[in-house]
A and B are shown apart, each in its own frame.
Chain A
Amino acid sequence: MADLLNPVDWLLALLQVLLFALAAPLLAAWVKRIKSRLQNRRGPSLLQPYRDLRKLFRKEARVANSASPLFRAAPYVVFSATLIAASTVPLLAVHLPTAILADVIVLVGFLALARFFLALAGMDVGSAFGGMGASREMLISALAEPAMLMAIFTLTMSAHSTNLSSVIQHVLDSGLLLRPSFLFALLALLLVAVAETGRIPIDNPATHLELTMVHEAMILEYSGRHLALMEWAAQIKLLLYGVLISNIFLPWGMAQQLEPLPLLIGLAAIAGKLMLLGVVLAVSETLVAKMRLFRVPAYLNLAFLLGLLGMLSHVILEVGV
């Protein structure tokens, strides 16, 4: 482990985290733009989320009288927990020191920590919306988390490692094999990613319709820099899931040496993959209508069953082959 602790690698890892944070609004803007085009609108510029964030950071924050200190601390906790989770995901290169700091279970743990504080912040002011959003968010995540872990366990069992770098390296080494377990896991992870990032058909990030909102209901009371941090964290989370799916299932193009050219190729590759994934998300959001809350369990059960099928097909068909 000690050999991985050289300063250049650490610098690159830090730069990667920075890139993660800076690129996150871009993906959100890309999805929004494609969606607008599909709906025959021009859509905002790709830089719009950056402008929004800049505006919010410059504005005065307003806090409700009934809020406790937790309300003001929560955005920082949510943001840093999400960023820590993102730092463990290999973005451009396979072997970076941040990937061995924490494995994929820790990643899920930090996302859960962020959600925990998000839900608490929603309940803090004492408005009915916040409680409603928190209650729904915890239901959705409670059902999504086992599905996600089931899909991830399928991958980690075939790679014999929960380390994301090792999983990706395993996929790179074994070449393009159409394994049934990987397909099931991919489908499960796609469904979970849609649920966890609060996209249609589970939640709609573009609405403030009282009776349907989940994520927006929890951050309803936030403003100024607090809101900016919450929005930014949500964008990082979207990018995180995008990178997770594209780099685990289609790792080709990722840099295996930490040199300029492979890193540039890696950057181009991940940008291309994310653009493609963004188009898929935008198309599905345009075609599918939002679900009623009590149909969400069925949707997430499907994700869990797909994960389970992936696991079973791995255990039955692939072990020892």
Chain B
Amino acid sequence: MTDFSPLLLAELAILAVLLSALSALATRHLPALMRQLVIPLMGFSGLLALLAGVWTLGTGQNSTAILPIGLPWLPWQLHLDALAGLFLSLVGGITFIVSFYAPAYVREFEHGNDSLPALGGFTGLFIAGMQMVILSDGAFVFMVSWELMSLSSYFLVTFQHEKAANRRAGFLYLLMAHIGGLSILLGYALLAAYGHGLSFEAMRAASLPEGWATLAFLLALFGFGMKAGLLPVHVWLPEAHPVAPSHISALMSGVMLKVAVYGLIRFTWDLLGDVHWQWGVTLLIVGSLSAIMGVLYAMMQQNMKRLLAYSSVENIGIIFIGLGLSAIFSGTGHPALAVIGLVAALYHALNHAMFKSLMFLAAGAVLHSTREHDLDQMGGLLRRMPWTGLFFLLGCISIAALPPFNGFVSEWLTFQTSLQAWALDSGILRTLLPIAAAVLALTGAIAAATFVKLYGIAFLGRARSRRARRAREVSLGMRSALAMLAIVCLLLGILPTLVIDTLNSIPQQLLGKGLEQATAHGWLWLTPVSAETASYSAPLVFIGALLTWWLAQFLLRRGSVRKVRYGDPCDCGFGTPNARMQYTSVAFAQPMRRVFADLFRLREEVTRDEQGRERHQLQVEDPLWDWLYLPLARAVNALSKLVSRLQSGNVRIYLGWSLATLVVLLWLIS
């Protein structure tokens, strides 16, 4: 470790963020230290990680190091390659930007009862855990870091534990994180059994029989999918993400979900190798379901952060569609097409990290300024908070996959991949892929509707509550974080060729083939398959759009009448419309709710109180609770009732049971 390598930088990043966690202990007595030391250290660590990741991606150079801790036969080995580089730079970049945002946001906790050492300490551990998951080069380090990440984020979810809902969300999260972790552990156990070692190198060399390999894949999919928030194991996500402080929500949704995606890619493509197309079909179906159901649930939400959390489920679904397409093509012997699918998935992971962090941070700014979660209490915020409103709008355009922003590029790549279905031999697969593309199209269109609703209700129209009327623009630090993310979103949208060139070493590492043809015609032209098949020149289209826009403005502003007169809106001859006459978020979603009624658990009732006033109640819930979770919970309860029969309260009987167990165990091992 004498020479200066990206990995050294990454280790310094971990060290810095651990120091930040340690220094947070002092904030009990010196609350200002949080802003002056803890968060800057965290941002510094993010910057180091970003540099290390980008350096690795740029040079494609791998580096390995052994940490001087751990047991002699169980070394803590770290490894940094292109795949890890991308995700490390993701963690680093978002951490860096969040560190501009966090100081103003945590200021309000300085005088409250909330424990600052817990916030700073667990944030540091959480980030360190994510960085180490990505760098780990063995199942042991991986699982330790994974649990570090899960546990510290549990404490962040329950940070404001006075509220019962937060405790409940935290418990659900902890429970599901552990079931998922167990599943990942079993997956690694299978690999370790055939590879005779816990290091990733041994696992790569292992050759599993087909059945065991599929089992390992399914275990990994379950475990990582649970963390990533795939349907049907997503239920913890919309509970846990919204209740954490907003910058933590951004880290959880923007980055932690990507760490789970990283885990699955590492496990399946790198360690298992030899991807089967049946796995691809599984990924495609699970991804499509998550995408469409995620966005439909998002559409129904009234709570801003819950809506964003459901939209994470959708975007993770889109990433998995890309991964599934890649697996199908590589399993059927079309490596060139598999590369496009993989790049589409990675690109979307990158994009989602950016725009979802932007959205959560902006939602945090709204929360900070209005203290409202409920969309129907907001309204007219664009006039009160113009900068936040602008960046939020840019985030909405990106996340709704509209050109020329970044969400569009990755969805475009995913569409292009699925349209190559004609290359497949099997008729069923040839049909399945376009249907997945149609699901993706429906998802994109509903996402646009969802974000029209979110933005239109919260930022446009008139203020619906006193708090919204008195909202104030947030501080410069918070706005600068939003601005940085918005600019990154735009750049990722108009310079896709540069991004793909940078990502190129990842498919080379995993599939042995790059995506050179995509950028073969210069940086202006994105041609994923070939120039004849499809081309998109994002920079030129962007310039064209700007020119048209400018021209229209220029011509019309010069006209004979360029004045604008302000007046009351159309009142149809009655009184001036007031804020209560506006469409609410519930009303906006009503047509959608009615059309897709079978997919929700709807409870609608009209009750009448003593004075004869009618009260209309509507509840929209995730039907999976009824179909899957409640029966499961009942089964677990029934089982534990059976076990509780052993519980007699008599010590002698307990001793008898212990003796019996001991005898059985002795008999087993003898």
Contacts and interface: CB of A to CB of B under 8 A. Distances in A.
B588 interface: yes
A205 interface: no
A70 B382 contact: yes
Contacts of A66: 380, 461-462, 569
B591 A126 contact: no
A59 B563 CA distance: 9
Given A65-B568, A125-B461, A132-B583, A146 B442 contact: yes
Contacts of B446: 142
Interface in A209-244: 210, 220-221, 224-225, 229
Given A62-B565, A125-B569, A149 B437 contact: yes
A131 B588 CA distance: 7
Interface in A10-66: 57-66
Contacts of A282: none
Contact of B427 (A129, A139, A150, A316): A316
A80 B552 contact: yes
B523 to A, nearest CB: 12
Interface in B429-475: 430-431, 434-435, 437-439, 441-442, 444-446, 448-449, 451-453, 455-457, 459-462
B534 A57 contact: no
A294 to B, nearest CB: 7
B296 to A, nearest CB: 10
A66 to B, nearest CB: 5
A92 to B, nearest CB: 19
A119 interface: yes
A149 B397 contact: no
A13 B427 CA distance: 40
Interface in B571-601: 572, 577, 579, 581-583, 587-592, 594-595
A105 B566 contact: no
B415 interface: yes
B628 interface: no
B630 interface: no
A315 interface: yes
A224 B560 CA distance: 12
A106 B541 contact: yes
Given A65-B566, A80-B549, A316-B427, A120 B460 contact: yes
A101 B386 CA distance: 34
B438 A304 contact: yes
B401 interface: yes
Given A80-B548, A102-B537, A123 B457 contact: yes
B525 interface: yes
A307 B522 CA distance: 36
B530 to A, nearest CB: 9
Contacts of B568: 64-65
B460 A156 contact: no
Given A62-B567, A116-B448, A146-B445, A127 B577 contact: yes
Among B400, B461, B572, find the residue whose CB has the most chain A CB atoms closer than 10 A: B461
A290 to B, nearest CB: 16
B570 interface: yes
Contacts of A119: 452, 456
B494 to A, nearest CB: 13
B402 interface: yes
A297 interface: yes
A67 B382 CA distance: 10
A289 to B, nearest CB: 20
Contact of B566 (A63, A141, A294, A312): A63
B532 interface: yes
Contacts of B587: 131, 135
Interface in B124-157: none
A319 B419 contact: no
Contact of A128 (B393, B540, B565, B582): B582
Interface in A154-192: 156-157, 160-163, 166
B74 interface: no
Among B382, B386, B401, B522, find the residue whose CB has the most chain A CB atoms closer than 10 A: B382
B419 A153 contact: yes
Contacts of A229: 552, 556
Contacts of B457: 123
Interface stretch (A81-89, A245-253, A264-272, A273-281): A81-89
A68 B460 contact: yes
Interface residues of B, number: 89
Contact of A112 (B393, B445, B549): B445
B592 A142 contact: yes
Q: DSSP class of B's interface residues: helix, strand, loop or mixed?
A: helix
A302 interface: no
A123 B587 CA distance: 12
A162 B533 contact: yes
A142 B548 contact: no
B445 A84 contact: no
A58 B560 contact: yes
Contacts of A141: 445, 448-449
A125 B569 CA distance: 7
B460 A123 contact: yes
Interface string A86-103: 010000000000001111
B547 to A, nearest CB: 8
B419 A162 contact: yes
A155 to B, nearest CB: 11
A308 interface: yes
B230 interface: no
A1 interface: yes
B563 A60 contact: yes
A316 B431 CA distance: 9
A224 B566 CA distance: 13
A64 B568 CA distance: 5
B188 to A, nearest CB: 40
A177 B566 CA distance: 58
Contacts of B531: 1, 100
Nearest to A82: B548
A157 B577 contact: no
A175 B581 CA distance: 57
B329 interface: no
Given A126-B461, A162-B419, A136 B533 contact: no
Contact of A77 (B401, B408, B422, B549): B549
Nearest to A139: B591
Given A102-B537, A141-B448, A224-B561, A70 B460 contact: yes
A81 B545 contact: yes
A308 B432 CA distance: 11
A170 B501 CA distance: 31
B263 interface: no
B582 A127 contact: yes
Interface of A: 1-2, 57-70, 72, 76-77, 79-81, 83-84, 87, 100-103, 105-106, 109-110, 112-113, 115-116, 119-120, 122-132, 134-136, 138-139, 141-146, 149-150, 153, 156-157, 160-163, 166, 210, 220-221, 224-225, 229, 293-294, 297, 304, 307-308, 311-312, 315-316, 319
Per CB-CB distance, the 10 closest pairs between chain A and chain B, nearest first, are A131-B583, A123-B456, A126-B461, A138-B449, A64-B569, A80-B548, A145-B445, A142-B445, A146-B441, A149-B441
26 contacts: A57-B556, A64-B567, A64-B570, A65-B568, A68-B380, A68-B383, A68-B459, A105-B416, A109-B403, A112-B400, A112-B445, A119-B452, A119-B456, A120-B452, A120-B455, A126-B380, A126-B581, A126-B582, A131-B582, A135-B588, A136-B591, A142-B446, A146-B441, A162-B534, A225-B559, A307-B438
Given A131-B588, A160-B533, 7 more contacts: A63-B565, A63-B566, A123-B583, A129-B570, A138-B592, A144-B445, A225-B561
Interface of B: 379-380, 382-383, 386, 389, 393, 397, 400-403, 408, 412, 415-416, 419, 421-422, 427, 430-431, 434-435, 437-439, 441-442, 444-446, 448-449, 451-453, 455-457, 459-462, 521-522, 525, 527, 531-537, 540-541, 544-545, 548-549, 552-553, 556, 559-561, 563-570, 572, 577, 579, 581-583, 587-592, 594-595
